[in-house]
Amino acid sequence: MKKIIFIIALFILIFLNSIKQSNAEYERIITNRRIEKKNGKKIHKSTLIFRSKHPEKFDSPRIKQAKEQIKKIKEELKTNSDKNVIVDAYMKLGYWYRILGNHTNLRKYYTKVIEEFPKSKKVFNAQSNLVKMLAEMRRFNESIVEAKKLISNYPDSPKVPSVKYLMGYCYLELKNFKQALKVLNEIIKDSKYSGYKKLAQRLIDKINKQKNSKTTNDERKED
């Protein structure tokens, strides 16, 4: 019996000591960041190793909030079958996954709203959020696909001009100048898009500037 108690006590002591060492290592790295990759500086290798093992210790308050909200919403979904509650929950999950930079789950939950609840008033918002958030996360091709769906499903929506403008921006980022100019010129020519004409013209000017710069560089290479 004494031998068993001794073994248990030893195990607890080893466990507590490992926690103490982990915390000590954490404090050492935090207080001794001689080479931090922040504002152009390099990160010390030991910091990278610790971050890879304990990423949660480096979460910003916003990231922590997102993780907590996702956990809370998923728990609530387990005990609720009300369609309106489920739709709202999916919309919130899409938003919080966007905060985490998780485009896969962001798309998953907004798509659930669109496909599982096609008669919901939130479908348009889900589609619109997909376009905007995928573009923000630089998923330009995916954003364009969703933008085309939205324009096809809601051609008379007052948000169509902003969606087309965003499409033009995505094409510009992808260096697809031909498609970008096509979409942006549609905004310029259509009287319904008056609020976005100046913005569209700015992107067109930017595209022409990039095209001229590329032509000049190509000519220099030939010389």
pLDDT tens-digit series, residues 128-156: 999 999 998 889 999 999 999 999 998 88
What whole-number distance in Å separates Cα of residue 108 and Cα of residue 114? 10
Asked whether residue 202 is domain-assigned, the answer is: yes
Q: Is the pLDDT of residue 182 over 70?
A: yes
Residue that terminates a domain, selected from 149, 181, 207? 149
Task: Say which residue the tokens 């890879």 belong to.
Answer: 52
| pTM passes above 0.85 | no
Burial of 56 per CB tally in 10 Å (0-12, 13-18, 19+): exposed
Indicate whether 64 and 131 sit together in one domain: yes
Q: Residues of the chain with pLDDT > 90: what percent?
A: 42
Asked whether residue 79 is domain-assigned, the answer is: yes
Indicate whether 84 and 166 sit together in one domain: no
Q: Is the pLDDT of residue 34 over 50?
A: no
pLDDT for 63? 86
* Number of folded domains that form the chain: 2
Residue range(s) defining the domain that contains residue 173: 158-223
Lowest mean pLDDT among 11-15, 18-22, 88-92, 96-100: 18-22
Asked whether residue 42 is domain-assigned, the answer is: no
Indicate whether 143 and 162 sit together in one domain: no
Structure confidence at residue 57 as a pLDDT band (50, 70, 90): low
What whole-number distance in Å separates Cα of residue 211 and Cα of residue 122? 40
pLDDT for 9? 59
pLDDT for 149? 92
Instruction: Specify the higher pLDDT residue, 14 or 100.
Output: 100
Indicate whether 223 and 184 sit together in one domain: yes
Asked whether residue 25 is domain-assigned, the answer is: no
Asked whether residue 196 is domain-assigned, the answer is: yes
Asked whether residue 32 is domain-assigned, the answer is: no
pLDDT for 156? 86
Mean pLDDT across 80-100: 92
Structure confidence at residue 101 as a pLDDT band (50, 70, 90): confident
Asked whether residue 28 is domain-assigned, the answer is: no
Residue that terminates a domain, selected from 110, 128, 149? 149
Indicate whether 79 and 140 sit together in one domain: yes
Indicate whether 64 and 89 sit together in one domain: yes
pLDDT for 166? 92
What whole-number distance in Å separates Cα of residue 175 and Cα of residue 158? 28
pLDDT for 16? 46
Indicate whether 126 and 179 sit together in one domain: no
Q: Residues of the chain with pLDDT > 70: what percent?
A: 68
Asked whether residue 67 is domain-assigned, the answer is: yes
